[in-house]
Structure 1
Amino acid sequence: MSEAKWYVVHTYSGYENKVKANIDKTIENRHLEDQILEVQVPMQEVIEMKNGVQKASQKKMFPGYVLIHMIMNDDTWYVVRNTRGVTGFVGPGSKPVPLTDAEMASLGIRRENIVVDYEVGDTIKVVAGAWADTIGVVQSINMQKQSLTINVELFGRETPVEISFAEVVKM
């Protein structure tokens, strides 16, 4: 198994899961389980924030690419290269280049990306916390702290207040 390395295969956009299924089926039919060990479509969990509700979803880390852990020989190269939806291996010319251990280790890092549907200048309503039912204008967004700064009227003056993403909805 020491010869098995990770290779990157380029696919048609949106065909990643079909390519994985087709290669898995071919491995089973041709009994290549000991040569093509794993086929993977790297996914990443992304948290989207819409109207104050957090929603987790899976997104492809590398759209258009599939990772394959295999022993490279003429049979495995032919099987993968001639799978429907595969455009080729990543590497110069027709020579596939395996990923290094360092490259594979960096792929293991899964960061949650938060996507918010409001931006600076939007009017929002606070629905929770000490400022509930307050309406304000977004002045800045801090992705690290998952908060925004809004201007609210306090004692007749505009005052900046920091609010969590989970406590606001877009107007």
Structure 2
Amino acid sequence: MIVEKRWYVVQTYAGYENKVMTNLLKRIETMNMQDKIFRVLIPEEKEVTIKDGVRKEKLKKTFPGYVLVEMIDTDDSWYMVRNTPGVTGFLGSSGKGTRPVPLPTEEIMPILKKMGVTSVEVSLDIEVGQQVLVAAGPFSGQVGKIESIDKEHGKVSVLVDLFGRETPVELDFGQICEVE
């Protein structure tokens, strides 16, 4: 099984997003978790206001009370994040020891693009002509062949069988997995 890093949404007390991010970054370093927890972001966007001819820019939290964490979900990483001061839990986890649900690629990509975070690392070792399994989206469960790879945008073109014909479908890296 391929272990991959995914994005998770961490719930915080309202107004504590910056403190939680600082605490998480310190704990990642002190607990040596850099190989399991990669990025911690507060979803923000620039808000421009013009008052009396003066232009002001400020960062506005897109989702107050939430912090995004890119990590590999292991017992250690999950425990460390949920026990960070100010964290109230994970979005998609009902508590009582249930694991969090990662954000689907099609949901996290627009958020990251809006924030100006466009660097997407390829966590798959794939090449043109290779068979892959579509893991998410309308073609989920189908096996197809990679036609092209766009590493810059984190996309692949996969030929899937649609009504008896090979049809190219554009997918994000997070929507496919390697066939063993």
TM-score class, shorter-chain normalisation, is 0.5 to 0.7
Higher relative CO (CA 8 A, sep ≥ 6), structure 1 or 2? 1
Deviations 1:15-50 (A, max 9, x none): 101101101111111100000011111210000121
Q: Supply the distance in 1 between the matched residues of 2:92 and 2:71 (Cα, whole angstroms).
A: 16
The answer to whether structure 1 residue 6 and structure 2 residue 7 are counterparts is yes
Note the C-alpha offset of 1:2: 5.1
Percentage of matched positions with identical amino acids: 49
TM-score, structure 2 normalization: 0.58
Note the C-alpha offset of 1:106: 1.6
Point out the structure with max Rg over C-alpha.
1
Q: CA 1:90 to 1:61, structure 2 compared with 1: closer, same or farther past 3 Å? A: same
Q: Which of 86, 103, 108 is the aligned partner of 1:104? A: 108
Alignment correspondent of 1:120: none
- Specify the code of the residue in structure 2 equivalent to 1:59: K
Note the C-alpha offset of 1:52: 2.1
SS in 1 for 2:114: coil
Where does structure 1 differ by over 4 angstroms across 4 or more consecutive aligned residues?
A: none
Deviations 1:86-119 (A, max 9, x none): 00000141331101110011213439xxxxxxxx
Q: Supply the distance in 1 between the matched residues of 2:93 and 2:82 (Cα, whole angstroms).
A: 15
- Specify the code of the residue in structure 2 equivalent to 1:12: Y
The equivalences for 1:69-88 within 5 A come to 69-88=70-89
